[in-house]
Amino acid sequence: MRILIHLLTVHFFNIPCIGTNLMSMEIKNHTVVTEFILLGIPHTEGQEQVLFVVFLIFYLCTLLGNLLILVAVMSDSRLHTPMYFFLCNLSVLDIGFSSVSTPKTLANLLVRNQVISLGGCISQVFFYHFLGSTECFLYTVMAYDRFAAICHPLRYTIIMNRRVCTLLAAATWFIASFHATVLTTLTFQLPYCGSNVVDYFFCDIFPVVKLACGNTLIIETVSFTNIGLVGMICFLLILASYIRIVIAILKMHSAEGRRKAASTCVSHLSVVTLFFGPCALIYTQPSLSEVLVTPVQIFGNIVTPMLNPTIYTLRNKDVKGALKKLAGAQVTSEGGH
């Protein structure tokens, strides 16, 4: 309370704050940070080449798998439905999300290029949270799509018309950009005047703010609250949708109808689990040791974007059919030449 009264007195009566002046003098005595050094993945000395090959394979598979889904959906008119429209959005997000940190991680492993500019670090923080939260919102929209399809099949095309789908997709991107802008602004408005060594393999909020010269209470509180609130709301909405879906499936008289309805949800439930699992561990357990948090973060950043297209391809006959059709057309085209 005394601190609050002191701050209000300084603000309204323009009384100079000795603590603030001392902090300003201290900051001026240091060189302002213009670049950061990423220490990389902890406890991997001597394994850089092996990790480089493994991560490169994962990254290339992510790009190839998601590009194949995009091409398959766009080339087959039978897949021009809301479910596959959102799946295309997910593929774009997976390509972008994996590209936020993976290329820099690969460069670090191959040539030990550990330096990242201030602008590059800001970009990593922004796009990591922008694309990550967009994906979180998109999974919620996809759950609503499955709810509308299974619980209201006769009105599905009216509920999820093209305009509604476009607005829902645009809203996920817009809200996520606002979310990421707030977090990034709060992170980098802090003064960075001391060490520039980030004890991690990419720039994220918590490893970076450890290096700030100012008070980090606000950004740490906002980050935990904001990220936790967004994730919790999305998770609860997805859970509510699937509770309604399960009730609707149990009421179906046809065993074939129940099987078909359930099969359309399995892929979505799988990728939701892969997404929310690592997020829950990283952002709800800040004291989690680096031995555990780093593999979880790597799994979320590099492995999950590769698994998403695999899950949707293996579990979905329509996507597999479109890919086979695409491959057949390619073979026929080459045979004609």
pLDDT of residue 39 exceeding 80: yes
From CA 223, how far away is CA 128, in angstroms rounded? 13
270 or 30, which is more confident: 270
Residue 170's pLDDT is what? 96
User: Is-contact 58 306, C-beta < 8 A?
Assistant: yes
102 or 193, which is more confident: 102
Percent of the chain topping pLDDT 70: 83
| Per-residue pLDDT tens digits for 131-148 | 999 999 999 999 999 999
CATH 3.40.50.720 fits domain 35-326: no
Residue 3's pLDDT is what? 38
Q: Can you read off the two tokens belonging to residue 52?
A: 């480089």
Residue 35's pLDDT is what? 87
| Per-residue pLDDT tens digits for 54-110 | 999 999 999 999 998 898 888 888 888 999 899 999 999 999 999 999 999 999 888
Residue type at 34 in one-letter notation:
T
pLDDT of residue 334 exceeding 70: no
Q: Can you read off the two tokens belonging to residue 256?
A: 């074939």
Residue 312's pLDDT is what? 77
Q: Can you read off the two tokens belonging to residue 9?
A: 């007195």
User: Is-contact 303 48, C-beta < 8 A?
Assistant: no
From CA 312, how far away is CA 34, in angstroms rounded? 43
Mean pLDDT over 13-19 rounds to 39
The domain locations on the chain are 35-326
pLDDT of residue 293 exceeding 80: no
Strand partners, 201: none
From CA 72, how far away is CA 321, in angstroms rounded? 9
For the ranges 127-136, 192-201, 290-299, the lowest mean pLDDT is seen at 290-299
The model carries a pTM of 0.82
136 or 229, which is more confident: 136
Residue type at 54 in one-letter notation:
V
Computed over every residue of the chain, the mean pLDDT equals 82
